Amino acid sequence: MATVKQMEMYINSFAPFDTQEDFDNAGFLVGDGERNVTCALIALDATKEVIQQAIELKAELIITHHPIIFHPLKKLMADSPVYLLAQHGISVISAHTNLDKAKGGVNDVLAEKLGLQQVSLLEGGEEMGRIGELSHPMEPDSFAQYVKQALDANGLRYTVGNRPVQKVAVLGGGGDFALYPAMEAGADALVTGEAKHHILLDAHSSGFTFVDAGHFDTENLVCPALKQRLEQEFPQTEFILADFQNPVLYLGD
């Protein structure tokens, strides 16, 4: 039976933790590295709801994308996620910006979900972004609708560019900074998960199609891919996707 530490080492083999951004806190964050793992839960975030599922399933480990500890803890209360994890002996490994960059990680999966071909690294995208081409061009409004359906997104925001979309850059999660590298690379559109107002204004004034499909829906798609990869490496451990839906709702026009 594999241990928590062995699973951390395996994740490190394809998404090295030393490639994470300076601001990040990816890695083995909570628990006992020597504990055997019979059941592991995979989730975007280790919320209290996800931790409760792990408790009910008697899982020894939760593997997340977003780090459970991001900023220094100044107090630890009984109803906090980290306290609950320690109380129930549940470990956490978080693969964040290292998994964004990794081959087969967040952005490769996002590009695949959108049907992009000839995918390559987006230069200037912090080694996280990808760029590729659709099989045929789409008008900006149709492309936005296509993204929503492909990601099964609750909703999205977008700017309408001044040309059809075929060359597409992607960067899941908080990737609006990739707008400028995407434009420099000749992309017709960028798909990401968050957008500041001034970034949207810049996209609009540049005649560029910018699609903000939501942080959850541009990153949660890596969880099934990660599950499949871990199952192949550790067949004696049961890996389960957390039952946690996007908590952000949208009201349309």
Q: pLDDT tens, 32-81?
A: 999 999 999 999 999 999 999 999 999 999 999 999 999 988 999 998 99
- 24: tokens are 């990040």
The string of pLDDT tens digits covering residues 1-40 is 899 999 999 999 999 999 999 999 999 999 999 999 999 9
Q: Give CA–CA dist 72/75, Å, rounded.
A: 9
The reply to whether 23 and 85 lie within a common domain is yes
Q: Which helix (H) or strand (E) holds 190?
A: strand 189-192
Instruction: Give the chain's domain count.
Output: 2
What predicted TM-score, i.e. pTM, was given to this entire model? 0.95
Whether 132 is covered by a domain: the verdict is: yes
pLDDT tens per residue, range 122-165: 998 789 999 999 999 999 999 999 999 999 998 999 999 999 99
Cβ atoms 127, 98 nearer than 8 A: no
- Secondary structure of residue 57 in the 3-state scheme: helix
pLDDT confidence bin for 253, thresholds 50/70/90: low
DSSP 235: T
Q: Same domain, yes or no, for 214 and 129?
A: yes
In the DSSP assignment, the letter for residue 15 is S
Residue that terminates a domain, selected from 99, 127, 153: 99
Residues 94 and 181 in one domain: no
Are 133 and 41 members of one domain?
no
* Structural tokens at position 99: 């998994």
Helices 4-14, 222-233: axis angle to 10 degrees equals 120
In whole angstroms, give the CA distance from residue 162 to residue 165: 9
Same domain, 21 and 92: yes
Q: Which of 74-78, 156-160, 243-247, 248-252 has the lowest mean pLDDT?
A: 248-252
- Please indicate, yes or no, whether residues 110 and 209 belong to a single structural domain of this protein: yes
Residues 80 and 11 occupy one common structural domain: yes
Q: Which residues constitute the domain of residue 68? A: 4-99
User: From CA 181, how far away is CA 71, in angstroms rounded?
Assistant: 29
The whole-number pLDDT of residue 8 equals 98
**Three-state DSSP state, 111:** helix
